[in-house]
Structure 1
Amino acid sequence: MTAKIIWLSKGTPKTLSYNGTEYRSGISKKQVDKLEVLSHRVDGDDVENHEFHGGSERVICVYPYEHYAHWEKLYGRSLPNAAFGENLTPTAMEEKDVCIGDVFQIGTAILQVSQGRFPCSTINKHANINTLLSKIVEVGYTGYFFRVLQEGTITSDSAITLLKKHPKEISIAAIHHTYFFNKKDLSQIESILSIDELALEWKERMLKLYNQAKQ
C-alpha cells in the first residue's frame, strides 16, 4: 500500500479547557495545505512546554490515520482531525512498519524517524476521554517523530517516498513493547541502544531500563 497524506496540521499554544479547568497546550491544530519545514520546527507551529516537547529531534509529529478507526470503534464516537496534535496524518505508516533511522522524502523535505512518541495526559484532555492515554500505551498506537535532514515544503498532495530503510529495522512498535512490556529483555534493549539514530531522550530511557534489568 502506498503511503499518502490525509491531513497536514499546525498550530501554536492556546488556552484550552477540560472539566472546567484551563490549561495551555499546542495540541490543538488546524488543517493546512502546506507545511514549511525548518531544521528545528515547522513554521507557524509550536509547543507550550519546550522541556518535554518540540526541538530538533521532534520537529514533525506523525500519527497514522488507520488508528482513528480503532479509537472510533472503541469509544463509539469520531475524533476531530489531528486529535493527537500531530502535524502529519498519513496512511500506511504505522508504528509496526516504521523503524528508527528510516529516511523519507515528503515534498522537498527529507526526514528521518528519530523516536516514538511518549504520550502524556494532555491527549485525554484534548479528546475528553479519560482512558485514552492508558489505551494508547496498551496497544502502542503512540505516533512518532521526524528530525529534519533537509528543510523543505510539504503540501497536502506531496508524495511520501522511503529513501532509506535503516539496516537494523527496529520498529517504533518494537521499542514501545520493550519499554512498557518486555523490560527484562537485555538483548533487545542492547539492540535498541545500538541504533545511533535513536534520539537522546529515548537512549537515556533505554539505558535506565537496561541498568534496572541487570540488577
Structure 2
Amino acid sequence: MTTYHVRAIHTAKITELTFGKKTFPSALLKQPIGREMFLSYTGLAEDEQTPEHHGGTEKALCLYPYDHYGFWDGWMEMQDGSALFGENITTVGLNERNTHIGDRFEFGGAVIEVTEPRQPCFKIAAKYNKPELIIRMRESGFTGFYFRVLQEGMVKPGDHLKLIRRDPAGVSVQEVNELLFSKSPTAAEYDRVLEAVALSKTLKPKLMEKRNQL
C-alpha cells in the first residue's frame, strides 16, 4: 500500500481579512492542528469555508503538495508554519500529475476520494499581493485538489494518506486542469475527462454543458 506523508493538517475560522485594498471574509489563514479532530462529510470539525468557491461535500478537504512550495519560494513572501494556499492538508509525493479523479485514500479513520482540481481565486493573489499568481498557478498546473469524504472518521497529526484504490479511468488532476485552462478544448478532451465517474457533482455538469456547446 502506497503511503504519502502529510506534513500538517490545517484549519481556520472565517474572519474578515484585509490585504492591501481588498477586504473579504475568508478562512484562508489556516494553521496546523495539534490534536485529533473529526472529519465529516463536509470537512474538518473546526474548519470553515466560504461557500462561493469552497466547501460542501464535493470540496470537503483541500490538498496542496509541499513539493510545489519550492516553486513559489523566492517569487513571493512565504509564511512559515501556515498553509501556503489555505489548504487543509499539505503532503509530500502526491501531486496533480500522479493523482487521478476518483483515487481513494485512507486518512486516519476516514476514507477520502479525489473530486476535482482547486481553481485559484483572487483571495490567494490578494494575500501575497501578487495579481499574476492566478495565471502562474494555472500555467504551472500547481493548483492542488479537492476530496469528498466517503467515510467519516477521526484524523490527527501524524496520520498519512494511504492509497487504497486507483480510479480505473486514470484521468489525472493535471488532465482536468489542462481542459479547464485550455483556450480551445476539443470534444475528445471533454469526453476523456468525463470518463472519470467520480468527478465532482459541481464541476461535471459545467463540463457537460460546455461539451454540448461545441
Q: Distance in 2 between matches of 1:183 and 1:35?
A: 44
Is residue 2:142 matched to residue 1:141? yes
What do residues 47-101 of structure 1 show as CA deviations (whole Å, max 9, x unaligned)?
Answer: 13x132200001111001111100114x064344202110000011101011000
Q: Distance in 1 between matches of 2:200 and 2:144?
A: 15
State the one-letter code of the partner of 2:105. F
Could you say which residue in structure 2 is the equivalent of 1:45? 47
Q: Distance in 1 between matches of 2:76 and 2:119?
A: 25
Q: CA RMSD in A?
A: 1.7
Q: Distance in 2 between matches of 1:77 and 1:28?
A: 14
Determine helix, strand or coil for the equivalent of 1:200. coil
Could you say which residue in structure 2 is the equivalent of 1:29? 30
What do residues 14-66 of structure 1 show as CA deviations (whole Å, max 9, x unaligned)?
Answer: 11111144221111111113442011221011113x13220000111100111
Could you say which residue in structure 1 is the equivalent of 2:101? 100
Could you say which residue in structure 2 is the equivalent of 1:78? 78
Could you say which residue in structure 2 is the equivalent of 1:14? 15
Alignment check: 8 A CA contact 2:78 2:84 kept = no
Could you say which residue in structure 2 is the equivalent of 1:161? 162
Alignment check: 8 A CA contact 1:183 1:209 kept = no
Is residue 2:184 matched to residue 1:203? no
Aligned residues: 211
Unaligned runs of 5+ in 2: none
> What is the percent sequence identity of the aligned residues?
27
State the one-letter code of the partner of 2:197. D
TM-score by length of 2: 0.91
State the one-letter code of the partner of 2:97. K
Q: CA deviation at 1:115?
A: 1.1
Alignment check: 8 A CA contact 2:169 2:195 kept = no
What do residues 110-135 of structure 1 show as CA deviations (whole Å, max 9, x unaligned)?
Answer: 00001111111101112232221110
Alignment check: 8 A CA contact 2:19 2:129 kept = yes
